[in-house]
Structure 1
């Protein structure tokens, strides 16, 4: 089975851009890497709307199925999944007050090798169709953090812009593989004391912290 890396986060948190960047870097290192795109977006594009409450579970299961199928292919070293059922469970709770998808989504996430949660330091950008507001993004982030921490599932928060964000993710993947995958010298990755937001579920707090410290290239590992 391939190493499975999932990227979590609400809308406009850079999941897709990071997923594509990671695939490019990993392939350049000689690792056969496959990208699993966000099924929810594909579904919305096909249907011209967001899923209704009774359609959410099927969308979540298809995201999991596509990722599992790719990971089982012979010769694939790494699978980078642009979201997971947890994101759909968060949307289901937010829009429909439906908490029923969390259990199955968390059970699937528990089998994932590496969970990367996108930080809230990127500016929210409207896309004219799918994205609602920064408030929705923050609410999804808070719900995902809450459930990951309550379930005792380890995750790492990824911050920064462009190459900085990619390097953080590459270091996390490299730790799983026991090799250095970064393209630049690591910064502030050893000897750190945990910062106060490591276990914080308040997205506004994290946003304020990283808005002020982004230029110093701080990184954060979240361990529930």
Structure 2
């Protein structure tokens, strides 16, 4: 039999980590019904919608609600408490029987809800992690993060370029370079180019009808490219959930906008919309100069490589997407790429601090 009827867990979950999930699971085991209230402030870098979605995925049997709370905390000020409680009660108007927290203000929070306070691991001994630690250095806390949170925080690096400029070779080499660093980096993932598999299938379908057909006889339609972009994005998002703090992608939806232009001569608004929803952080553009063209049976654009390289550079610049041009030998390109990725990781995640909190004994 459950100890409490309606339980409440309240927090920023900025971002959610193993300590939060332990708190929620403990409360869920003891309550007939559990509500998790996610409170976010406008100054914070991670959206309320994302945090709610992450909590709902990890705890599908729990009711998750959200509220915007832009009031700094001062646990010794009753008027500040009143303002916070108006936000909390607006999101959770039902009777609350127990409040589960790991915070020092748990007693006062429970009192104001007219509920019992149940402290859970207040010294953080079960999971030695905090939201502050995760925000400061997500890579150091990676093992405390669930798959949807990892997908939301992973640094996504895209390798793109014209035909036969070594994008696949470089993306794989980067993946292996970071895996060899060990620790959390051993989980580094690589996302292959979905467009190539799509192209192979188009050629196979044509040869099923015309066995002597070759790549020059394959035709593309506008509606093919959103499928390619969506397939690429789905694979990227799946890999982001299970890898290290960095993910290497052989092309992306943004690159697909240029491949549509290359094959059909114009822009696809549908593909552009998919590209706009991407969460990539760095693009590595492989130069065609110094790389011989190899026809692998799915290529026919040697003469278009200078134009493609130029278009990638123009569109990356126009859209304000951070990128590095990779030229020279494979070793030189790899060294330049690693330096750019390391700089990205060193720069960090730049997650804004939450609103300040002042902790004092309540005065009334």
Q: 2-side partners of 1:100 and 1:17: how far apart?
A: 28
Any unmatched runs of 5+ in structure 2?
Answer: 1-149, 204-217, 348-364
Deviations 1:59-91 (A, max 9, x none): 112112211221123x53221101112222112
Q: Is the 8 A contact 1:117 1:158 kept in 2?
A: yes
Over 3 Å counting, the alpha-carbon distance change for 1:108 and 1:144 in structure 2 is farther
Task: Report the TM-score, using the length of structure 2 for normalisation.
Answer: 0.46
Q: 2-side partners of 1:173 and 1:154: how far apart?
A: 11
Shift of 1:154: 1.7
- In structure 2, the residue matched to 1:65 is 234
- In structure 1, the residue matched to 2:294 is 126
Q: Which one of 52, 68, 81 corresponds to residue 221 of structure 2?
A: 52
Q: Is the 8 A contact 2:160 2:251 kept in 1?
A: yes
Residue pairs, 1:62-141, within 5 angstroms: 62-73=231-242, 75-101=243-269, 103-109=272-278, 111-141=279-309
Local SS of the residue matching 2:263: helix
Which segments of structure 1 move beyond 6 Å, counting only runs of 4 or more?
Answer: none
Local SS of the residue matching 1:156: strand
Shift of 1:35: 0.6
- In structure 2, the residue matched to 1:15 is 167
Shift of 1:135: 2.4
Local SS of the residue matching 2:324: strand
Q: 1-side partners of 2:179 and 2:318: how far apart?
A: 35
Q: 1-side partners of 2:290 and 2:168: how far apart?
A: 13
Q: Judging by fraction of residues, say which structure has more strand.
A: 2
Shift of 1:128: 4.0
Any unmatched runs of 5+ in structure 1?
Answer: 180-224
Shift of 1:57: 1.2
Q: Which one of 317, 321, 325 corresponds to residue 157 of structure 1?
A: 325
Give the structure, 1 or 2, with the largest relative contact order (CA under 8 Å, sep 6 or more). 1
Across the two proteins, how many residue pairs are aligned to each other?
177
Q: Is the 8 A contact 2:165 2:293 kept in 1?
A: no
Q: Does 1:41 align with 2:209?
A: no
Task: Report the TM-score, using the length of structure 1 for normalisation.
Answer: 0.72
Q: 2-side partners of 1:119 and 1:100: how far apart?
A: 25
Shift of 1:20: 1.1
